[in-house]
Amino acid sequence: MILGIETSCDETAAALVTEEGEIRASVVASQAELHARYGGVVPEVASRRHLELVTPVIRETLGVAGATLDDVDRIAVTQGPGLIGALLVGLAAAKALAWSRRLPLVPVDHLDGHVASLYLQPEPLEPPFLCLLASGGHTMLLDVRSHTERELLGTTLDDAAGEAFDKGARLLGLGYPGGREIDRLAQDGDPAAYAFPVARVPGLDFSFSGLKTALLYAVRDLGEEELAERRADLAASYQHAIVRALVERTQEAARQAGRDRIAIVGGVAANSELRASLPAAIAAPLSLCTDNAAMIASAARWTEPVAYPRYLALDAYASR
């Protein structure tokens, strides 16, 4: 069994996954409430909380699976990208556990992890496919050719799609994390109420910063009472603009790459309008869309392990 550990942002997560991709246990301790009052993740607060949570979360994971460390064959951990202080907590925990048991350690790229969420049981997807990876930190179109080969076809020139959701939610006075809040509120709104512009950048890239400014102006023009009345319409229209941009570019990328299957991963893949707009797309279950450690353990199945004790020298990376 592979023990996965993920601490790249504000979720402390551990999971036990078999070589065949069966999840025996997956525990996610979200710190969202802790950061909500600041309207976003505070890196230093996240690191400290990871430090408190990482051991209990790993212990609980073993408990859920009815396993002990004797059942673990290798340890997988997110090496980057993410918040450097947060990553270091998971990496140090993984090194300590692996070293104490003389186990190999597998350093996993967080983005490989999101893609590998599709390779888990009960319905593992087989490459090739076109993948939209949309999270709080990244928006990427990937031509996934095999478990180990992929080509980046497009990315965002400014904000990530999840970041656009989070910033929009803030402008609308909604809680953090904002994507889920906008998604919920949009159900009661009219997506055609406001015509928010979607930047048309060349190629298969995205740009979301202009959209955010358009929302800012729309909100500014309204009084407090009016805003309360129009909030659902604003959320629905704003979400619609983001989803339209994602869907158009994803379909275009699939056409260009000659892929007939589209998969969506990352936190934004949990969005109900996105899922409805790409009905044929393959999406991981909601719990595997947002950050978790099962996807990290899954990716480790195709990542070269580092032997004992060489991994003690590994460092985390904030960006690629």
Q: Which of 242, 291, 296, 300 binds Zn ion (CB under 5 A)?
A: 291
Q: Which is nearer to ligand KG4, 1 or 141 (CB)?
A: 141
Q: Tell me which residues touch ligand KG4 (CB under 6 A).
A: 9, 135-137, 162, 165-166, 177-180, 183, 266-268, 270-271, 290-291
Q: Which is nearer to Zn ion, 25 or 293 (CB)?
A: 293
Binding segment toward Zn ion, per CB under 5 A, in 36-44, 152-160, 184-192, 283-291: 283-291
Distance CA 108, CA 135 (A): 17
Q: Which of 135, 156, 271, 303 binds Zn ion (CB under 5 A)?
A: 135
CB of 199 to ligand KG4, least distance (A): 19
Binding segment toward Zn ion, per CB under 5 A, in 13-21, 40-48, 127-135, 276-284: 127-135
CB of 243 to ligand KG4, least distance (A): 9
Asked if residue 297 lies in contact with residue 59, where contact means CB atoms within 8 angstroms, the answer is no
Q: Which is nearer to ligand KG4, 98 or 263 (CB)?
A: 263
CB of 182 to Zn ion, least distance (A): 18
Q: What is the binding site for Zn ion (CB under 5 A)?
A: 135, 291
